[in-house]
Amino acid sequence: MSSHLRKSPLAILALLALLALGGCGDSHTRVSTGTYAGESGKNAPYLNVGPLLYEVQLSRELNPANIEDAAYLKGLTPAESHLAPGQEWFAVFLQVYNHTSAPLPAATSVTVTDTQNNVYTPLAPNATNEFAYRGGLVPAKGELPLPESVASSGATGGAVLLYKIQVVSLDNRPLELKIVDPNDTSQTASAELDV
């Protein structure tokens, strides 16, 4: 058999391998739904909302008596800090990525819904809370929280959204996070949260 014929099957196998690898991890695939699956965002989907990418790093209940959790609750008014009977603090830690060459506004509508259609909106702590998610502009080729910020350097690497939820909602799981593009409300994405 000539060496040309022996090399053809190898060339075909190499070409097939390249084609198979080329289909993996397609960064152009837009994702608008997902399931949070792991601590610190491990296996969490990158959610496309308009031109930005959002990633849930962690979601969990907060304990105001815990030193770490108390820092996440800083900057709330006394009325906002008060939990009514049957309420619980719930936090979602989020990262936002802008891969475009222009600054873009991050979502300000980020709600949590349980299976009974109870919808929760986040509270907005004042500027003394360095962990809080506030939306704002995501720098060109940048991210929120900003690198080197307290939130970025924190345990989760994400900015925190604070919700007062009914304890019964923890029984009505899965909880779903919904993010709406501030420039086009038809552009949304959602993810189930791990509690």
Does the residue 102 lie in any domain?
yes
Q: Is the pLDDT of residue 168 over 90?
A: yes
Does the residue 133 lie in any domain?
yes
Q: Is the pLDDT of residue 2 over 60?
A: no
Does the residue 87 lie in any domain?
yes
What domain range includes position 173?
Answer: 25-193
Distance between CA 74 and CA 127 in Å, rounded? 9
Strand ranges inside 26-76, DSSP E: 33-35, 47-49, 52-62
Does the residue 44 lie in any domain?
yes
pLDDT band of residue 156 (cuts 50, 70, 90) is: confident
Does the residue 130 lie in any domain?
yes
Residue 109, domain CATH: 2.60.40.1240
Question: For residue 144, with 0-12 CB atoms within 10 Å meaning exposed, 13-18 middle and 19 or more buried, which class applies?
Answer: buried
- Per DSSP, the residues of 76-113 read --HHHHPPPTTEEEEEEEEEEE--SSS-EEPPSEEEEE
Does the reported pTM lie above 0.85? no
Domain count, the chain: 1
| pLDDT score for 173 | 86
Does the residue 68 lie in any domain?
yes
Residues 101-122 pLDDT 10s: 999 999 999 999 999 999 999 9
Does the residue 11 lie in any domain?
no
| pLDDT score for 195 | 66
Does the residue 135 lie in any domain?
yes
Residues 25-57 pLDDT 10s: 333 345 555 555 444 445 556 889 999 999 988
Contacts of 137 (CB under 8 A, 6+ apart): 103, 104, 105, 106
